[in-house]
Structure 1
Amino acid sequence: MKSKYSLTLLTVSCIIFSSFATTTWKLQNVEYSVDTLSHVLIGPGTTQTSLSLNGPVKLRVFYTTTDLTDPNVNIKVIMAKDNLTSNVTVPNMPASQNDTENIYFAGVNADFIGGMGPVGTTCVNGEFYKSYKGTGWYAIGIDKDKHLYSGAPYTTFKLVSPNAGQASIKAINAVRSDNELILYTSRKGSTTGTKGTGVEVGAVPVDGALKSDGTTKMRVTVAPVKNNGNMSIPENGFVLSGTGFTADIIAKMKAGEEFEVTPTIYFDNVIKTDITEMCGGCPMLLQNGKILETQGLLDHLPNREPRTAVGYNSDGTQIILLVVDGRQPGVSVGVPSKDLAAIMHNLGCVEALNFDGGGSSTLYVKELGVRNIPSEGNLRAVKNGLFITSPATQDKTIAKIRFADYMKVVNYNDTYSPVIYGYNAQGLLIDTNVEDIILSCSSELGTIQENGTTVLCNGTGTHMLTASLGALTTTIPVTVKHGSDAVEPVPDNDVNLYPNPVKSGEQAYLSLNCNAEIHIYNANGQLINNIKNENQETLLALPTQSLTPGFYTVSVTNKTARKIIKLIIK
C-alpha cells in the first residue's frame, strides 16, 4: 500500500465529472449505461453524486468525492458514543461522540461488527481503541497530514516496566488466549471480561489515553491480582491481563510504578507513523489499480448485496466514500464484491476497501440527510463510521451559491423555478433553500417571470441560466426540448401542497379535488411512498413526519393529468 499526495484542483474536477461524460461502464466485462441523477457540492472540496446504472440489472450508486488538498477538510473515524460497545445510526454518530472542534458533514458506516466491537484495528483522534491480533483483515489509515494508507495492518506494542522489564503486548481490547498479554482500556467497558486464570494489573494514565503514535505512560493503581479475572477497568484507565509466561512477567509489577506502552503500526509490513485515524474492513477491492480476486474471501461476497466502500486515487489527494443500494428489485439489486471494485475503479480509485454492507450500508450528508435507501427500510445502528469533517464554525453568512440541480432539461414552454444552495466562506453547505434569488438568462433560453424566481423556457437548445444573490452568482446549463424530443409532459390540475417547506418531523397536506395516486420520490428519484386517494378526500395528510431533511418530489396523477410538486423538508 502506498501513501500519495498532490493533485491540482483542475485534475480533481476532471475526475469528479468523469462519470458525467462516460455513457457506459464495464463491470466484470458487462456493460452498463450510467446516468447522473444528482451532483451537489456539500462541503469544502466535497461533492455528493448519485448515479443510476442500467444493464442486465439496475443499480443505484451514491458517493462523496473529497479533495484532501483543501485546507478546510479532513477525514475522521467515529466510534459510537466513544466506546466499543455502543451501536448508533450513521446520522446520529456525530452527536454521540465528544468532539466540539469539528463539523462532521458527511459519512458512511465502516467496519463489520464483531464480539469485541468493530472487527478490525480502530484508532480515533490519535487514540488506539482496538487492534486486530490475527491476519486476514484490512484497514484504511489516515495520518496527521491527511496521507492515506490501506492494506493489512499489523501492530506491535512494547511494554517497558521498571520492575517487570520489557514485554510484548499482543493486542488492545481483544479476547485473551493462552500465553498472551492483552491491554484493556476503558473504551471496552467497565471490566475485562476475562476468565479466572492469569494475572491482571490495573493502571491509570499519566499523560492521556493510549496513543496510536508515540509512547503512553501509565501508573499502576491495582497491584497484580492472580487467578481472579474480570478485573474492573479504572475510569479512563487500563488493565494489563496475561496468562502463562506473560502472567509471570506482569506479576512483578508494583503499585505506584510508572510503565510505558509504545505501538508500532505496519501496513503490509511497512512501518507507518503519525496515524491518527484507522478503521477496518474486508476485503481489499483494489490495490495498485488492479481489481483483486475477492469473491471467495467471505461467504456473501459473490452475492448481489448492498455494499459500502472507501477508496482513493493514485496520489491520495482524493478520497471516495460510496454506497451501492441492494435488495430493491427494479431499482437496485446490489453488487458482488468484484462489481463493487469495478465501480470504484471507474471513479478513479486505485486503492479501495470493502466496509460492512447489507442493512448497514448508509451514506449520510448533514444538510441533505441519508442519500441512499437502506435495504431494511430503516437505519441500522452500527459500531463506527468514516466521516468527512471541517473545523467547527458558527459562520452562517452565505459566501457562495450553487444550483441544487447540476443541469436541467425541460420541455418548450415549461417553467423552471430552481432551488439554490448557500455556502459559508469555509465551503460548508448551510442553506438548502436560499431566498431572494434573482434569475437571468438570454432570450434564446426564455423569459424571466415571478419577480425573477422563475424562467419560462420558450427558447431552443442549451443555454446558461444565472442565479444572483447580491454580488454572488452561479450558473447551470438548461436544455429546452421540442416536439418528439420533449421530455414527458407534466399537465396541471387543481392540487396544492402546504406547508412547503415543512419543518422536519411535522405534517404536510395535499389539497385536491379528485381521485388520484400520489407518489413520493427522494432527491435521487427513488420511490419511497405510494398513496391512493380513492375516497376523493379534499385534504390528504402526507407521511412527511418520518422524512429526513432534503428535497422530495410529489407526483399526483389521475386519469387525465399529472402534477409534479417539489417538497422541501427543512
Structure 2
Amino acid sequence: MNRAMSSLAMSASLVLASCAGGPPLSKGKPFDLTPPQQRLAPGIQFSQRLWPGPVPMQVSIVEVDLTTRDLGLVVGGIAADAKGEYLSRTTSSFVRDTGAVVAINGGYFSPVVNAEGQALDAIGFSKSGGLLQSPPNTAQTAGMATAVVCFKRREIAILATFSCPDRFTDGLAAGPILVAAGKVVTDVKNTTRHPRSAIGMNARGDRLWLITIDGRQPGYSEGASFEETARILVALGATEALNLDGGGSTALVARDGSGKPRQLNRPIQGGVPGRERPVANHIGVFELSRPIR
C-alpha cells in the first residue's frame, strides 16, 4: 500500500439571491432537496440535481454521515520520485486502485498533463497519513490555494491558512473558501462559470458534502461561479466550504457493485465530455472494514 494512503481520517434555508453582475441565480423555483437518492454504502448517499436558474447547472452530490463508524477519509496520491511530488492519476483510477467508496479530485497542481504516470507538483500543502507530501505555500506563491481542509478521524476543519495544524494526519490546500460560519464569503465579482469541485461540512461536523458542478457543456450544464457554488452548498446545509481544483480536473467517481469505478458527474478534460484529467491528489471516502489497496 502506498504510504500516502496509510491513514484514514474522519471527522456538511437558503434565500436565493442574485449573482453580482449577472442574471438571477433562481427565478423563484426551490432547489429540490428531496430527489431520489442512491446509497453508495452505509452512511453515503448520492444524488444529482438541476439547480434552478438562468442556465443549466448539473450538480452531483455525495452526502456523508460522519457518525457512521465504518467510514473514513483519506487524502491520497501516488508519491513520485525526485522529478515531482506525485504521479498523475485520474479519479476513476484512484477509486479502482484503492477501493474507495467514492472520491473527488483534490487541490491545484502543475503541470496539466493528459496521461497518467506523469510527474506533478501539488500547489501548496498536502499531507497523507501524517507524512508531508507537499510543503505549504507562501503568500507570494499561493495563487488561489489560500486555505486548507484538514482531517483526523472524526475531526474536520476548513481553515484560511497555508497548512494544517500538526494534530491533523491528512489535508490539502485549495481555495478560495466559499462559505464560513454559514455565510457566503467568496468574491461575488467573479461571475465566470466553470466546472467546479467543492467540499463542505455542517456546523456539528457530522455531515460532509462532496459536490461537483459540470460545465463547458452548453445545453447540459454551463458550470457555476464561485458564488453560485457557495450558495448551492449553503442550500444543502454546509456552514463551512472550500473550493477544490475545477475545470477539466472536476471529477466525482464511485465504486460500483462489482468494484469498478463509475463516474457520478460528466467530466470534460480537453473539451471531451466524459474524459477525466489525471490529477495529483484526491479526497477519498473508505469503508474501514474493507482493506485499502
TM bucket normalised to smaller: 0.7 to 0.9
Alignment-derived partner of residue 227 in structure 2: 338
Aligned partner letter, 2:147: Y
Aligned partner letter, 1:31: S
Task: Quote the Cα distance in structure 2 between the aligned partners of 1:154 and 1:88.
Answer: 24
Measure how far apart 1:353 and its partner are: 0.5
Contact 2:96-2:255 within 8 A present in 1 as well: no
- Taking only aligned residues, the RMSD between alpha carbons, in angstroms, comes to 2.6
Measure how far apart 1:384 and its partner are: 0.8
1:71 aligns with 2:69: yes
Task: Quote the Cα distance in structure 1 between the aligned partners of 2:250 and 2:199.
Answer: 12
Evaluate the alpha carbon distance shift between residue 147 and residue 366 of structure 1 in structure 2; reply closer, same or farther with a 3 A threshold: same
Contact 1:27-1:343 within 8 A present in 2 as well: no
Selected match of 1:59 from 33, 57, 60: 57
Evaluate the alpha carbon distance shift between residue 154 and residue 109 of structure 1 in structure 2; reply closer, same or farther with a 3 A threshold: closer
Task: Quote the Cα distance in structure 2 between the aligned partners of 1:123 and 1:359.
Answer: 23
Contact 2:186-2:230 within 8 A present in 1 as well: no
Measure how far apart 1:25 and its partner are: 5.0
Selected match of 2:125 from 94, 113, 121: 121
Alignment-derived partner of residue 42 in structure 2: 44
Measure how far apart 1:285 and its partner are: 0.4
Selected match of 1:151 from 147, 150, 159: 159
Alignment-derived partner of residue 180 in structure 2: 287
Contact 1:78-1:94 within 8 A present in 2 as well: no
1:384 aligns with 2:291: no
Contact 1:88-1:383 within 8 A present in 2 as well: yes
Question: Aligned with 2:51: secondary structure?
Answer: strand
Alignment-derived partner of residue 149 in structure 2: 140
Task: Quote the Cα distance in structure 1 between the aligned partners of 2:162 and 2:181.
Answer: 20
Q: TM-score, normalised by structure 1?
A: 0.41
As a proportion of its length, which structure holds more strand?
Answer: 1
Task: Quote the Cα distance in structure 1 between the aligned partners of 2:35 and 2:229.
Answer: 19
Question: Aligned with 2:230: secondary structure?
Answer: helix
1:82 aligns with 2:79: yes
Measure how far apart 1:274 and its partner are: 2.2
Contact 2:177-2:186 within 8 A present in 1 as well: no
Measure how far apart 1:328 and its partner are: 1.3
Give deviations 1:479-499, integer Å, cap 9, x for gaps: xxxxxxxxxxxxxxxxxxxxx
Give deviations 1:244-286, integer Å, cap 9, x for gaps: xxxxxxxxxxxxxxxxxxxxx5xxxxxx342111011110001
Aligned pairs for 1:385-464 (under 5 A) are: 385-393=282-290
Give deviations 1:151-172, integer Å, cap 9, x for gaps: 22345xxxxxxxxxxxxxxxxx
Measure how far apart 1:366 and its partner are: 0.7
Contact 1:121-1:153 within 8 A present in 2 as well: no
Question: Aligned with 2:149: secondary structure?
Answer: strand
Aligned partner letter, 1:279: L
Question: Aligned with 1:31: secondary structure?
Answer: coil
Aligned pairs for 1:344-355 (under 5 A) are: 344-355=233-244
Alignment-derived partner of residue 102 in structure 2: 106
Contact 2:252-2:265 within 8 A present in 1 as well: yes
Aligned partner letter, 2:103: G
Alignment-derived partner of residue 363 in structure 1: 252
Aligned pairs for 1:451-530 (under 5 A) are: none
Question: Aligned with 1:280: secondary structure?
Answer: strand
Question: Aligned with 1:380: secondary structure?
Answer: coil
Task: Quote the Cα distance in structure 2 between the aligned partners of 1:105 and 1:58.
Answer: 28
Task: Quote the Cα distance in structure 2 between the aligned partners of 1:343 and 1:333.
Answer: 15
Task: Quote the Cα distance in structure 1 between the aligned partners of 2:35 and 2:248.
Answer: 23
Evaluate the alpha carbon distance shift between residue 154 and residue 358 of structure 1 in structure 2; reply closer, same or farther with a 3 A threshold: closer
Alignment-derived partner of residue 325 in structure 1: 214
What are structure 1's unaligned runs of at least 5 residues? 7-14, 156-264, 266-271, 395-570
Alignment-derived partner of residue 93 in structure 1: 94
Question: Aligned with 1:326: secondary structure?
Answer: coil
Aligned partner letter, 1:153: T
Question: Aligned with 1:382: secondary structure?
Answer: coil
Aligned partner letter, 2:287: S
Question: Aligned with 1:133: secondary structure?
Answer: coil
Task: Quote the Cα distance in structure 2 between the aligned partners of 1:328 and 1:37.
Answer: 23
Question: Aligned with 2:215: secondary structure?
Answer: coil
Task: Quote the Cα distance in structure 2 between the aligned partners of 1:325 and 1:66.
Answer: 21
Alignment-derived partner of residue 117 in structure 2: none
Among the aligned pairs, what percent are the same residue?
Answer: 24
Measure how far apart 1:293 and its partner are: 3.4
Question: Aligned with 2:37: secondary structure?
Answer: strand
Q: Which protein has greater RCO, CA pairs closer than 8 Å, 6+ apart?
A: 2
Aligned partner letter, 1:111: G
Give deviations 1:317-363, integer Å, cap 9, x for gaps: 11100000111111111111000000010010010000111111111
Evaluate the alpha carbon distance shift between residue 27 and residue 154 of structure 1 in structure 2; reply closer, same or farther with a 3 A threshold: same
Selected match of 2:168 from 275, 282, 290: 275
Task: Quote the Cα distance in structure 1 between the aligned partners of 2:188 and 2:138.
Answer: 21
Alignment-derived partner of residue 236 in structure 1: none
Aligned partner letter, 1:119: I
Measure how far apart 1:26 and its partner are: 4.8
Measure how far apart 1:316 and its partner are: 1.1
Task: Quote the Cα distance in structure 2 between the aligned partners of 1:127 and 1:393.
Answer: 23
Count of matched residue positions in the alignment of Structure 1 and Structure 2: 250
